[in-house]
Structure 1
């Protein structure tokens, strides 16, 4: 009987890589996304559930329905891990952001991961399981137009530490925080801008942007029993970018 993992945001570049890594390792992958899975390779998951995290965060009925949909699969495949990968990134300068931009960002990036952890806590406890929150380097160092994203992701990192302390030895809780990762979204943003892409790559001391598979393998480790003494931690898969001082000298 294989253990199961819930992976939110499975339709994104990192999400699909997470699904592949866990499935290749023998996990039963319960993938989620806002839309039908017609655009995903069906071999990447065992079950797919349409889920809007803003609705889960704000509607008890939607949250209860999602839990019921998951539990259709976890009787045969006990839940061992929850990967809170889905996120919303609303960009804008301070003067342009609306209160509802922050509210939506908080709902998706912080409140939904908390509620999913709460919902599946008994199942995860029974399996000595873990929660993995996919954070970002923006929780540590950010740039202009990222107040909504950086603030809510910083809260997610804090949530990781608080849950790890509160849950103790019941369920491990960690964050994996990538730097720039070569997703379809990132590549689309640099289409026709090879110099800008190369500048971003060179900003990382390692000299390149992360491949999605590298982030997925780190996630797989943190959810495995090989990481059994790691909780309340943030692993920065950042290519060294947070260690580099940028100054005009």
Structure 2
């Protein structure tokens, strides 16, 4: 008999998502991964191609995918809402379609999946972990949609923890700069800029994906079961920095 707990991870092929899958796989969890790209992770026992934006926007797709999810995931201990899109634009540039896609993937999707799996999570005495971002409190130009969605995701985390009162724990993790390929692509793989980014942090380095995944593992376990409705920053101290003029 397989007594392993099941974790569902969205955005499982990304830098943080793939490390989440690896950490939970190595900790004897049964890992089910969802992602937009059909490229199964070696750390997933089951992989399902899944488009969160369509799931929120297209009723027929929602019904179709829920039939699959209900069949393939009869039990669930942990839902990690990790998938996200980051479309940059200033106020004069922002397109409503991009805005809606960002909110669907980063906010509405986590809400709808939490609703879908609520009974299963309650039955297993499980929890939900939302991967938010430092952008929920500190942001930069042109991050309008992304920062708004992550602020709202932290708000959703807190609201759900109150609404579900003892049924399912809900927490969020807000990483700052994490050393993923997506981050390096954002700097055009310029090592000099990455070094500067390291030095901005009091830790003198940016984060590692495994640090986020290890925190998620700790939050999932019953030993820290009193943590509920919390948003945990993992930011190398950057949120304490006020940079002065040289």
TMscore range, shorter length = over 0.9
Identify the residue that residue 174 of structure 2 maps to in structure 1.
177
Per-residue displacement from partner, 1:161-196 (whole Å, max 9, x unpaired)?
011100010000010010100111122333552221
Identify the residue that residue 49 of structure 1 maps to in structure 2.
48
Is it true that 1:16 corresponds to 2:2 in the alignment? no
Q: Distance in 1 between matches of 2:22 and 2:218?
A: 14
Q: Distance in 2 between matches of 1:102 and 1:159?
A: 18
Q: Distance in 1 between matches of 2:189 and 2:70?
A: 45
Is it true that 1:71 corresponds to 2:70 in the alignment? yes
Q: Distance in 1 between matches of 2:36 and 2:85?
A: 12
Q: Runs in 1 of length 4+ with deviation above 4 angstroms?
A: none
The alignment's C-alpha RMSD in Å is 1.4
Is it true that 1:33 corresponds to 2:32 in the alignment? no
Q: Distance in 2 between matches of 1:124 and 1:192?
A: 40
8 Å Cα contact 1:110/1:156 also seen in 2: yes
Deviates more, 1:232-241 or 1:185-194: 185-194
Using the TM superposition, give the Cα deviation of residue 18 of structure 1 relative to its aligned residue in structure 2, in angstroms: 0.3
Aligned residues: 244
Is it true that 1:114 corresponds to 2:111 in the alignment? yes
Q: Distance in 2 between matches of 1:230 and 1:192?
A: 37
Q: Distance in 2 between matches of 1:204 and 1:191?
A: 20
8 Å Cα contact 1:30/1:70 also seen in 2: no
In structure 2, the gaps of 5 or more residues are none
Using the TM superposition, give the Cα deviation of residue 225 of structure 1 relative to its aligned residue in structure 2, in angstroms: 1.2
Q: SS of 1:37's equivalent?
A: coil
Q: Distance in 2 between matches of 1:102 and 1:208?
A: 32
Q: SS of 1:150's equivalent?
A: helix
Normalising by structure 1, we get a TM-score of: 0.94
Q: Distance in 1 between matches of 2:24 and 2:71?
A: 20
Deviates more, 1:54-63 or 1:232-241: 54-63
Using the TM superposition, give the Cα deviation of residue 66 of structure 1 relative to its aligned residue in structure 2, in angstroms: 2.7
Q: SS of 1:132's equivalent?
A: strand
